[in-house]
Amino acid sequence: MKAEQENEYIILLVNEPIPEYGVPEYKGTSINVAIKDYYSFTTNREKVAVLKWITAQPQFTEMKRFTEGENKIFTLNESEYDDILKTGETPKNLQIALKFVKNKFDVFLLSNPSNTKSADFIIRQKGKLFYVEGKTLNGKNSLNHLIEKGGLQSNRIAINIVGTTVTNYIKDTIKKSFEQNNNLTQLYLFKGQRCIIIDRDAIYSKDFEKIFTRLWNRRK
């Protein structure tokens, strides 16, 4: 099993299923309808076409205060965060978005459309797009419950780990979650500002436990 560090974040055997070429054109009418279409489409190419269309919409504006180098956060309604930010609090989904930006992703914050499920983010790196649900482990819910719940929204889940950093608990739970949920593709685990990305292939490696333990316990 090969582990590599790139651009300050760590990758464990990430197989990228999203094609870079040959994506069909998607002609949407609204972002809410596009999100519904994303869930109804069955092929990866169709889903990528929807994500490309959504991120190209002019309703998105850059949250310039959160730009990190070349990477940015885009939102459909920046004013919804203003009052909360003035109190010194940062919404949980924005906290996760900031960590993605630190790890060289662009982030598109999605609003919750009515009458349909949706994830929290579209993230972009090197021209590739990913549809991601965000969760925060803060002691109120188990990690297994968060992954199970997040899996209803997307097969990619970002989890901000703030409630516990116990290595064996994290390692064993994510392995079991992949084994129990065949649709789960990737987990983005944030420990502080570090991002450890784990895909399905990684957990079946004979070296997974050893490599995860070493990476998780790395201080920097």
The reported pLDDT for the residue numbered 19 is: 52
Distance CA 128, CA 218 (A): 28
The answer to whether the beta carbons of residues 28 and 41 sit under 8 Å apart is no
Spatial separation of the C-alpha atoms in residues 31 and 34, rounded to whole Å: 5
Specify burial of residue 6 (Cβ count, 10 A radius: 0-12, 13-18, 19+). Answer: exposed
Tokens of 49: 């076409």
Can you tell me which residue has the tokens 């109190």?
87
In the prediction, which pLDDT does 164 show? 83
pLDDT below 70 — which residues of the chain? Answer: 1-22, 113-115, 140, 220
Other CB atoms within a 10 A radius of the CB of residue 20 amount to 10
For residue 45, count CB atoms less than 10 angstroms from its CB and return exposed for 0-12, middle for 13-18, buried for 19 or more: middle
pTM of the model: 0.88
Residue 168 backbone dihedrals phi, psi, to 5 degrees: -65, -35
SS (H, E, C) 7-18: CCEEEECCCCCC
Tens digits of residue pLDDT in 159-176 = 999 978 889 999 999 999
Closest CA to 97 of 206, 193, 209: 193
Task: Report the alpha-carbon distance of residue 32 to residue 115 in Å, rounded.
Answer: 10
Q: What's the residue count for the chain?
A: 220
What pLDDT does residue 3 have?
A: 45
Q: Which two tokens stand for residue 171?
A: 């390692």
Domain boundaries, the chain: 3-22+58-216
Helices (H), 26-129: 31-40, 44-55, 79-86, 92-102
